[in-house]
C-alpha cells in the first residue's frame, strides 16, 4: 500500500497533534486512572474537582468494554481526556508527530448534557449513557483510520471526502461527512441498532471497522 507523503503529514500535524496539545494544555492538571480490558490499556484523565468525573470514567469503561465485547479489535493504549473547566470538542486524535498511530480521545465538558445537534449520542438508548455512546463514536473514528489506512483517511482526493447517502436513518450529524457517517454507524451498531442493507453496504464501501478486523 502506498504511504501518505511527508508533506501531507507535515501539513496535517498542526491540526492533529497540535490541536491535541492545545486541548490538554488548557487544564491545570489531570488525575489519571488506569483501566485494562482485553488487549486494551486505557488511561482516563479527569480534572480534579470534576463532580462528573466518576460518571464519565464509568461511561468510558463501558464504551471500551462494549466495543471489545462486540468483537472489534481495540488494542494498545487508549487515552481519554475529559474536560471540566473549558470548552473542548469531542474528538479522536490519530497520529503523533512521528506519524505513529495513537488513540487519544478528548471529551468536552458538555459530554453528559444534551447538545443541540442530532447525533446517535443525543438519542435515548436504554442501558447506554450519553458519554458512553459519544466515546464509542470516537473509538469508531480511531478504528476507521486504521481500517481505511492513512492514505485513504487523510489523502487529498480520498473517496472519504464528500457526503454520505444513507445518513438519514442514523442521525442528522451522520450526514456531515463520510467519516461522521462511519462513526455514527459504528456507534449505532455497537449499542445494538440494526442498519439497513444499503447503509451497511455504504459503511463497508468506506472501509468502516469490521468485527475481528
- b vs e for 25-61, b when ≥16 Cβ sit within 10 Å of the residue's Cβ? eebeebeebebebeebebebbbbeebebbeebbebbb
* Contact pick of 105, 167, 183, 189 for Zn ion (by CB under 5 A): 183
Q: Which stretch binds Zn ion (CB under 5 A): 2-10, 11-19, 149-157, 183-191?
A: 183-191
Report the site for Zn ion in 85-124 (rule: CB under 5 A): none
Closer residue to Zn ion in complex, CB, 131/180: 180
Q: With respect to Zn ion, which residue has the nearer C-beta, 183 or 185?
A: 183
Q: How far is the CB of 87 from Zn ion (least distance, A)?
A: 17
Task: Choose between 51 and 119: whose C-beta lies nearer to Zn ion.
Answer: 119
28 vs 66 by CB, closer to Zn ion: 66
Is residue 170 near Zn ion by the rule CB under 5 A?
Answer: no
What phi and psi, each to the nearest 5 degrees, are found at residue 92?
A: -105, 135
Q: Are 9 and 98 in contact (CB under 8 A)?
A: no
Site size toward Zn ion, by CB under 5 A: 2
- Residue 167 interacts with Zn ion (CB under 5 A)? no
Q: How far apart are the C-alpha atoms of 155 and 9, rounded to whole Å?
A: 9
- What whole-number distance in Å separates Cα of residue 120 and Cα of residue 185? 9
Rule CB under 5 A: is residue 67 a binding residue for Zn ion? Answer: no
Which of 19-27, 97-105, 180-188, 200-208 is the region at the interface with Zn ion (rule: CB under 5 A)?
Answer: 180-188
d(CA 198, CA 45): 38
Instruction: Give strand pairing partners of 40.
Output: 37, 76
Residue numbers at the binding site for Zn ion (CB under 5 A): 180, 183
Amino acid at each position: 500500500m502506498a504511504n501518505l507523503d511527508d508533506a501531507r503529514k507535515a501539513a496535517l500535524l498542526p491540526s492533529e497533534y497540535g490541536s491535541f496539545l492545545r486541548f490538554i494544555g488548557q487544564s491545570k492538571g489531570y488525575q489519571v486512572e488506569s483501566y485494562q480490558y482485553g488487549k486494551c490499556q486505557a488511561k482516563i484523565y479527569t480534572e480534579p474537582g470534576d463532580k462528573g468525573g466518576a460518571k464519565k470514567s464509568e461511561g468510558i469503561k463501558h464504551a471500551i468494554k462494549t466495543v471489545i465485547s462486540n468483537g472489534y479489535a481495540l488494542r494498545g493504549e487508549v487515552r481519554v481526556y475529559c474536560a471540566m473547566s473549558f470548552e473542548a470538542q469531542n474528538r479522536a486524535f490519530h497520529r503523533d508527530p512521528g506519524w505513529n498511530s495513537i488513540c487519544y480521545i478528548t471529551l468536552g465538558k458538555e459530554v453528559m448534557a444534551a447538545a443541540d445537534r442530532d447525533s446517535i449520542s443525543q438519542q435515548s438508548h436504554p442501558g447506554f449513557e450519553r458519554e458512553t455512546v459519544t466515546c464509542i463514536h470516537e473509538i469508531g473514528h480511531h478504528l476507521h483510520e486504521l481500517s481505511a489506512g492513512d492514505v485513504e483517511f487523510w489523502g487529498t482526493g480520498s473517496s472519504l471526502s464528500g457526503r454520505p447517502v444513507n445518513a438519514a436513518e442514523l442521525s442528522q450529524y451522520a450526514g456531515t461527512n463520510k467519516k461522521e457517517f462511519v462513526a455514527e454507524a459504528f456507534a449505532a451498531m455497537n449499542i445494538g441498532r440494526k442498519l439497513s442493507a444499503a447503509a451497511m453496504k455504504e459503511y463497508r464501501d468506506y472501509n468502516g471497522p469490521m468485527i475481528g478486523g
